[in-house]
Structure formats: C-alpha cells, structure tokens
C-alpha cells in the first residue's frame, strides 16, 4: 500500500512539481474553511442587539411640564438622557464663551435645534468613563460652570453641557432627535 502511494506521488511530481493530491488538499481545506466562516458569522452576530432591543431604540419625551431652569432625567437606549430648559441667563452665559477656549469647540446653536435654543437635550453619560454627571435633578451640584458635574473624576460641563474642566475629552453627546410638535421630541 505504501509503495503504491509513493509510485503515484513520483509520477505526479514529474508534472512540474505539483501533485494532483496537492490540489485536492487545497480544495478540501478551502471548502472546509469557507464552511467554518459561514457558520461562524451567525455565531458571532447573535451577540449583537436583538430585534426587540432595537425596537425600543427610540423614545418620545413631552417637554411641556419642564419650567425654565429645570431639567429632567429620562432613558434613551437604556442610558440616562438629560433634557434641560435653559434660562435666558444660562443661554447668555453659554454664548459668552469664546469657542477657542473650549476643548471640544461647539456653539450652543450647533448643540440645539434652530429656534429652540432653550432646549438642551444631551446624554447623561460622562464622556470620560461613562458615569452619570450630577446637575439634572434639583439640589444636585452643577459644578463651577453651572451645567453638570461628574462626581467620578471631577469633569465639569457648562450650561451648554460642554466640557470645561477635568479629564473628559468631549462635550456631553447630543443624541439624534427632532421636534414632532412644539412640546414633544422624538429621540433616536
């Protein structure tokens, strides 16, 4: 049996050093490889958010009860969402800052919807390491810039929720949202 294999192998080597068995080996291994990858894809994909999680991925918020100077905490994609009704003084203080002084330069206009500058909608997730900053509920510390203050590592945000001091690299994220009426927003 062994000698038989050697004979046919030598015969094949004569044809340019490539044996027919090499082709079979490569073809079989490739076939198995393609099969393994196509099975691996669903096995990996199953860990992505499922359809029911994605279906809950947008939130409607009614703003009518929020008075100037108040904010509310709600949930968007299982994370805290801050909706803040800015007072004219807070708007003025946000607009007074020069963009060149900011770590993540953005104006209040860019962070709000046109004509709705008083409504500041941001995620309540510190851009440093994901804690919930204080300042959205009454009685909480708002930090030295009057916006939000993260108790974990001391990041301070101003009245436009822009990073002013501390380790956080970015302003609080403004999620995609739109006004469906004057007092209702749809987030996501």
Partner 1 sequence: MSFPWAKEYKPSNPFMRYMDEKLPLPRFVYNAIGAGYPVPRNLNYFWNFGVLAGVALVCQLVTGIILAMHFAAESGVAFSSVEHIMRDVNAGWFLRYAHANGASMFFIVVYIHIFRGLFYGSYKPPREMVWHLGLVIFLLMMATAFMGYVLPWGQMSFWGAKVITGLFGAIPLVGTPIQTWLLGGFAPDNAALNRFFSLHYLLPFVILGVIVLHIWALHIPGSSNPTGVEVKDEQDTVPFHPYYTAKDGVGVAAFFLVFATLLFFAPNFLGEPDNYIPANPLATPANIVPEWYFWPFYAILRAFTVDFWFIPAKLLGVLAMFASILLLFFLPWLDTSAVRSGHYRPLFRKFFWYGLGPCIVILGYCGGSHATDGVVLVSQIAAAYYFAHFLIILPIVARIETPKPLPTSITEAVLAKSGASLQPAE
Binding of partner 1 at residue 37 (CB under 8 A)? no
The CA–CA distances, whole Å, from 58 to 62, 78, 87, 182 equal 14, 10, 27, 18
Query: Using an 8 Å Cβ cutoff, are 177 and 185 in contact?
Result: yes
> What is the token pair recorded at 62?
């009614």
Q: At its nearest, how many Å lie between partner 1 and the CB of residue 175?
A: 23
Asked if residue 38 binds partner 1 (CB under 8 A), the reply is no
Annotation marks residue 128 as catalytic? no
Select from 14, 15, 17, 43 the one that contacts partner 1 (CB under 8 A): 43
Distances (CA, A) of 62 to 47, 74, 80, 103, 116: 33, 11, 16, 32, 15
User: Nearer Cβ to partner 1, position 78 or 176?
Assistant: 78
Other C-beta atoms lying within 10 Å of the C-beta of residue 39: 9
- Read off the tokens for 109: 């206009």
Under the criterion CB under 8 A, does residue 47 sit at the interface with partner 1?
Answer: yes
Q: How far is the CB of 11 from partner 1 (least distance, A)?
A: 19
* Residue 64 is a binding residue for partner 1 (CB under 8 A): no
Q: Is 15 in the site for partner 1 (CB under 8 A)?
A: no
Question: What's the CA gap between 1 and 9, in Å, rounded?
Answer: 13
Pick the closer one to partner 1 by CB: 34 or 184.
Answer: 34
- Of 41-49, 66-74, 127-135, 153-161, which segment contacts partner 1 by CB under 8 A? 41-49
Our CB check for partner 1 shows the closer of 51 and 65 to be 51
Of 14, 17, 48, 96, the residue at the interface with partner 1 (CB under 8 A) is: 48
Contact partners, residue 68, CB within 8 Å, separation at least 6: 85, 86, 87, 88, 118
Binding site for partner 1 (CB under 8 A): 1-3, 28, 32, 35, 42-43, 45-48, 50-53
Return the active site residues: 153
């Amino acid at each position: 049996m062994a000698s038989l294999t050697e004979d046919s192998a030598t015969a094949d080597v004569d044809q340019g050093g490539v044996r027919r068995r090499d082709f079979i080996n490569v073809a079989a291994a490739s076939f198995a490889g393609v099969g393994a990858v196509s099975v691996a894809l669903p096995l990996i994909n199953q860990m992505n958010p499922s359809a029911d999680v994605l279906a809950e991925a947008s939130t409607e918020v009614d703003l009518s009860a929020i008075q100037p100077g108040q904010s509310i905490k709600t949930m968007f994609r299982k994370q805290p969402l801050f909706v803040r009704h800015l007072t004219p003084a807070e708007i003025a203080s946000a607009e007074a800052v020069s963009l060149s002084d900011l770590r993540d330069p953005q104006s209040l206009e860019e962070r709000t919807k046109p004509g709705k500058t008083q409504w500041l909608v941001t995620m309540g997730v510190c851009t440093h390491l994901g804690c919930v900053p204080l300042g959205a509920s009454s009685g909480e510390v708002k930090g030295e810039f009057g916006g939000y203050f993260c108790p974990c590592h001391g990041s301070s945000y101003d009245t436009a929720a822009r990073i002013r001091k501390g380790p956080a690299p970015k302003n609080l994220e403004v999620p995609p949202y739109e006004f469906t009426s004057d007092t209702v927003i749809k987030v996501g």
